[in-house]
Amino acid sequence: MTITTADEAKAALVALIKERSFQSGAEMKLASGRTSTFYFNMKPTMLHPQGAHLIATLILHQLAADGIEADMIGGLEMGAVPLAAAVSAVSAASPRPLPAFFVRKQVKEHGTQSLVEGLAKGETLEGRKVVIVEDVTTTGGSAIKAAEAVTREGATVVRVITVVDRREGATEAFAAAKLDFKPLLTIADFGG
């Protein structure tokens, strides 16, 4: 199948997530601490060639369509790492390539002792416009933690993008944190 529009890319991504990453039935504990009878394990989709390409393409399309200009893209380890890397790789062919970074959950105790990884020696986030990405959003806690970390480093968060928003409070949490949030998909795309 040749994908030519954002709507076709979105439909293909939903189908791939349903096939590789969506589970329903037994109750599972989520990263937010909540429990749910539906679960998204996005790694099988994010690490699949077509999944990585679809997600990156849709993120770049969203940024371009909304006129969002950014200097870098990243988020909290682990979920954001494959997303940011895929977007960065796909963006290399665009007029405005986006280097990737990630925020550690805790400062590395050896080497550079960095909280933010992906910056070359002498580089900082000072004055940079960044996009924060996340695989699945429930309450928004992980993305907000990443946004706070990069803001402390001098960056401005220009958008938060999640692949799937479970619609369980993230929109309100991002609004309260004054962060511009826009998901690629929501639970409604999966019948929820």
In 3-state terms the chain splits into helix, strand, coil percentages (rounded to 5) of: 35, 25, 40
CATH number (3.90.1150.10, 3.20.20.140, 3.40.50.2300, 3.40.50.2020) of 58-190 reads 3.40.50.2020
Burial degree of 152 (CB within 10 A; 0-12, 13-18, 19+): exposed
d(CA 149, CA 125): 10
d(CA 39, CA 49): 22
**Cα dihedral angle (101, 105, 111, 113), rounded to 10 degrees?**
90
pTM for this structure?
Answer: 0.91
- DSSP code for 181: B
The pLDDT of residue 112: 52
Asked if residues 51 and 87 have their Cβ atoms less than 8 Å apart, the reply is no
Domain boundaries defined on the chain? 58-190
Beta-carbon-side half-sphere exposure of residue 62 (alpha carbons within 13 Å): 23
Q: How high is the mean pLDDT in each 10-residue block of the chain (192 residues)?
A: 82 96 76 74 95 97 96 94 97 93 76 76 94 94 94 96 94 96 95 72
Dihedral sign (CA 23, 7, 158, 100): positive
The pLDDT of residue 1: 55
The pLDDT of residue 30: 66
Q: How many helices (H) and strands (E) in the chain?
A: 6, 8
